[in-house]
């Protein structure tokens, strides 16, 4: 999807490029609010522009002293997405270094009892879809500020919407707003093991097929990273086939893997390493007590093919 349809860029605001340092957030989008009510939904859009400029003044002023406005983006009740730090910048919003480095942030520019408009929700949905494009390719995850640190942000109402998956629904494009009166089918918590086969080692006992120092990981990394995107052959099978074999093995171990499932939901087990495989690998590593680096190296591979299901 293209950039959100109603977009207020830094240059629209008369600002130069952000002085914040470079980051390449991949994990998702974090929702914020303003601790006090702003009542912007009842006001003209010019009030949102003034609010955004004031927020920047506050964040860069003596009270905070930050390099720039803390947020990557804002979303106003009139369906505009505002550029804050913008793409590829560290945040100052999430309160932890990994949070600020690995996630984009968006504030809904509203306080605890402010109205959150359907148009505003749609703006966040468009923003999320834009960020999920191949060029930026964040995972689709949406979190709330309080998932990172102890804070009231983004308020109970917004946080409930985050948890209910409201912002992860498809955006409406080409004008119009979503029908939010329709209840959203809550994603049911899928058990980690769909079909536990405890104590057994399912599937073929393949050994790690890559040369020393190589791992299955992103295609943008150097030669040691094998992504399945290029035709490379190891032990008589293509890298893509091996990566599919890994996905299939986790499915044999009871993981919910494949199109429409918990993991690899969007593109399925296609053997092309991307954010979806990275999420799966990290989840598997977490469950097995391994280092969560998102890469399939010998230890992770061995865990999948040679260790009994616990």
Residue 172 neighbours by CB distance under 10 Å: 18
The CA radius of gyration of the chain, in Å to the nearest whole number, is 22
Q: Measure Cα distances from 155 to 119, 141, 151, 210 in Å.
A: 19, 19, 9, 48
158 within 8 A of 33, measured Cβ to Cβ = yes
Tell the burial category of 44 from Cβ atoms under 10 Å away from its Cβ (0-12, 13-18, 19+). exposed
Question: 142 in helix, strand or coil?
Answer: strand
Among 53, 78, 261, 265, interactor with Zn ion by CB under 5 A: 78
DSSP class of 22: B
261 binds Zn ion per the rule CB under 5 A: no
Please pick, from the candidates 27, 89, 145, 218, the single residue that binds Zn ion as defined by CB under 5 A. 145
Binding range to Zn ion, per CB under 5 A, among 17-25, 65-73, 147-155, 203-211: 147-155
Residue 153 in contact with Zn ion, rule: CB under 5 A: yes
Residue 53 contacts Zn ion per CB under 5 A: no
* Residue 32 touches Zn ion, criterion: CB under 5 A: yes
The contact pattern for Zn ion, residues 165-204, with x = CB under 5 A and - = no contact, is ----------------------------------------
Q: CB-wise, 78 or 101, nearer to Zn ion? A: 78
Q: Among residues 145 and 218, whose Cβ is nearest to Zn ion?
A: 145
Is residue 13 a contact partner of residue 81, using CB atoms and an 8 Å limit? no
Give the nearer residue to Zn ion in terms of CB position, either 44 or 207: 44
Nearer to Zn ion, 45 or 232 (CB): 45
Which of 48, 127, 158, 161 binds Zn ion (CB under 5 A)? It is 48
For Zn ion, the binding residue among 23, 76, 127, 281 (CB under 5 A) is 76
273: left (phi over 0), alpha (psi -120 to 50) or beta: beta
**Residue ranges in contact with Zn ion by CB under 5 A:** 32, 45, 48, 76, 78, 145, 153
């Amino acid at each position: 999807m293209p950039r959100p349809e109603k977009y207020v860029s830094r240059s629209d605001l008369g600002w130069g490029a952000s002085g914040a340092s470079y980051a390449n957030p991949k994990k998702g989008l974090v929702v914020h609010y303003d601790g006090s009510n702003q009542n912007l939904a009842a006001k003209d859009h010019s009030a949102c522009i003034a609010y955004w400029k004031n927020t920047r003044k506050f964040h860069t002023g003596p009270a905070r002293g930050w390099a720039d406005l803390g947020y990557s983006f804002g979303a106003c009740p009139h369906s505009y997405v505002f550029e804050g730090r913008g793409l590829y910048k560290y945040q100052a919003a999430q309160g932890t270094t990994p949070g600020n480095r690995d996630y984009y942030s968006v504030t809904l520019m509203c306080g605890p009892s402010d109205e959150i408009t359907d148009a505003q929700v749609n703006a966040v949905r468009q923003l999320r879809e834009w960020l999920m494009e191949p060029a930026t390719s964040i995972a689709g995850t949406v979190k709330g500020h309080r998932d990172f640190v102890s804070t009231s942000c983004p308020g109970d109402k917004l946080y409930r919407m985050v948890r209910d998956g409201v912002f992860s629904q498809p955006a409406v494009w080409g004008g119009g707003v979503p029908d939010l009166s329709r209840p959203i089918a809550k994603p049911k918590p899928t058990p980690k093991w769909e079909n536990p086969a405890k104590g057994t080692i399912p599937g073929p006992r393949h050994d790690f097929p890559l040369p020393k120092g190589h791992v299955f990981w992103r295609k943008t990394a150097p030669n040691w990273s094998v992504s399945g995107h290029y035709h490379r052959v190891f032990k008589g099978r293509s890298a893509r086939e091996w990566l599919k074999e890994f996905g299939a093995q986790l499915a044999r171990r009871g993981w919910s893997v494949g199109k429409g499932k918990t993991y690899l939901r969007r593109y399925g087990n296609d053997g092309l390493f991307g954010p979806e495989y990275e999420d799966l690998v990290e989840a598997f590593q977490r469950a097995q007590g391994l280092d969560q680096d998102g890469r399939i190296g010998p230890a992770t591979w061995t865990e999948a093919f040679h260790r009994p299901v616990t």
